[in-house]
Structure 1
Amino acid sequence: MMTTGTTKFPQLRHEWKHQISPPEDLVLSGRLRRLFPHDHHAGPDGSYRVTSLYFDTPYDAAHREKLDGVDRREKFRLRYYGDDPAWLKLEKKFKVNGLCGKRSARLSREEGERLLAGELDFLLEREEPLLAELYSKLRGSLLTPRTAVCYDREAFSYAPGNVRVTLDRNLRTGLSALDFFRPERFSLKPLPGLTVLEVKYDAFLPDLVRLAVQIPDRRAGACSKYALCRRFD
């Protein structure tokens, strides 16, 4: 559940990804719809739009650490769901020893616009640790908004193992990070025709899910949407 403040320190989770073809997507999505419920963000067709804005340093620290496979790394992003960015999630996503974690805080659209404009004092006025950490890195590491990413997500959940399976389609980006609130301008597509399958879970992956997402001759691999969209820089 989203709260107005920073969440407690999260449990680290397993995460693996595939890039899959349209025929694989067709078969897999049909199977998942028969087995698991959609998540609460879903619209009438079971999917919803996700728009994210990633931050990076002038030296592309987050991007380079991802490409180099650095074992301990982090990145900050703003995110909203659907067409209405009235509320945003600020997220710090981090990876430790192959496991992923995430901390988050809630921002209003006005606060998001102030952040993009470089008006940062409100981050300290909120007196929340995650916002104070972002302020420190915006000032000290010269972290800045770098790349906006948009895609259409169909997501499924399964309570045993706290499993979440997502199918992210139509990945796209634009020429300016400042188009974060105008995703209709995004016309650049790094994965035309392909879908990103992600599976996330806590301590174990139930056999039902493992069998449901099985794709012959596919191995999990690195697939960062941020890194993919940086190809257009």
Structure 2
Amino acid sequence: MKQRECFRHELKYEIEYARYLELRSRLRTVMKSDPHAGEGGSYLIRSIYFDNYQDKALREKRDGVSIREKFRIRYYNDDLSLILLEKKVKDNSLCRKLDAEISEPECRQLLEGRLNWMRGHPSALVQELYAKMRYQLLRPRVLVSYVREPYVYGAGNVRITFDSRIRTTLYHRTFLEEQTVDISAAEIPQNRILEVKYDGFLPEIIRSLLQADGIRQQAFSKYEACRKFG
């Protein structure tokens, strides 16, 4: 299991398409495209989020609870050869992420409610999810999909991403389907979600570019946006 030793800062903004084009152009003068994005500069992310029957994670987000956690299963470009179980811990604008790789057969068993294999798994994170699925009744609730365009900057370990085409499945019990049936969850589809993540400090050159654009921080949650339909 990978674990960040320290919390990272995480800031989110919703920006209009024209502002996205302008800001992206300026950031490209100092930042590099994340090599994981490939030649196209972006990739598809799909995340299956967990919540309990009382929608604890959703309610805590809406109520502004400062310290909270979410479990999700994540994979990229519909490639099931790499599937990650992730736990994201938020403390106001700080976040820490823990993850563990699971196989496709393990993932399918988990999503079908067949959990016995998780008890003796070598990953402590898998064992933790097993306990919380048993005793907190966590269950997979929704599939969130979006396209991410990422950029990186070495100083401060800065990562800036633009997310678009946010889509959601209506509540159903089947995941990892051959064909995903979903709908747009964005109120203004052309807008982008800008995320800024960094370690101990945000370099002045990046800060000045963001401030020059006049954008304001917002508490945006893709999970919350995608749960409005069920």
Common topology (TM > 0.5): yes
The equivalent position to 2:193 in structure 1, one of 176, 191, 196, is 196
SS in structure 2 at match of 1:185: coil
CA distance in 2, matches of 1:111, 1:126: 10
- Native 8 Å contact 1:190 1:231 kept in 2: no
SS in structure 1 at match of 2:37: coil
SS in structure 2 at match of 1:105: strand
- Native 8 Å contact 2:11 2:217 kept in 1: yes
**Could you tell me how far 1:82 is from its partner in structure 2?**
1.4
- Native 8 Å contact 1:179 1:185 kept in 2: no
Partner of 2:165: 170
- Residue 73 of structure 1 pairs with residue 60 of structure 2: no
CA gap of 1:194–1:177, structure 2 versus 1, over 3 A, is farther
Q: Which moved more, 1:117-126 or 1:18-27?
A: 117-126
The equivalent position to 2:229 in structure 1, one of 189, 214, 232, is 232
Q: Which moved more, 1:165-174 or 1:124-133?
A: 124-133
Partner of 2:82: 87
Name stretches of at least 5 consecutive residues in structure 2 with no aligned partner: none
CA gap of 1:212–1:86, structure 2 versus 1, over 3 A, is same
Q: Which moved more, 1:186-195 or 1:126-135?
A: 186-195
1:69-94: per-residue Cα shift (whole Å, max 9, x none)? 11111000000111312221111001
Equivalent position amino acid for 2:209 in 1: A
Partner of 1:213: 210
CA distance in 1, matches of 2:62, 2:103: 32
The equivalent position to 2:57 in structure 1, one of 54, 62, 72, is 62
1:29-75: per-residue Cα shift (whole Å, max 9, x none)? 22222321111321322000011010001000000101111111100
Instruction: Count residues in correspondence.
Output: 228
Q: Within 5 Å, which residues of 2 pair with 1:37-186?
A: 37-175=32-170, 176=172, 178-182=174-178, 184-186=180-182
CA distance in 1, matches of 2:102, 2:30: 35
CA distance in 2, matches of 1:215, 1:153: 23
TM-score of the pair, normalised by structure 1: 0.92
- Native 8 Å contact 2:23 2:213 kept in 1: no
Higher strand share: 2
1:150-176: per-residue Cα shift (whole Å, max 9, x none)? 000000111111111000011111123
1:156-209: per-residue Cα shift (whole Å, max 9, x none)? 111111111000011111123634445642223334221100001111000111
TM-score of the pair, normalised by structure 2: 0.93
CA gap of 1:215–1:113, structure 2 versus 1, over 3 A, is farther
Q: What root-mean-square deviation, in Å, do the aligned CA atoms of Structure 1 and Structure 2 show?
A: 1.6
Identity %: 43
- Native 8 Å contact 1:55 1:144 kept in 2: yes
Q: Which moved more, 1:59-68 or 1:204-213?
A: 204-213
Q: Within 5 Å, which residues of 2 pair with 1:6-25?
A: 6-8=1-3, 10-25=5-20
CA distance in 2, matches of 1:177, 1:26: 38
CA distance in 2, matches of 1:139, 1:151: 30
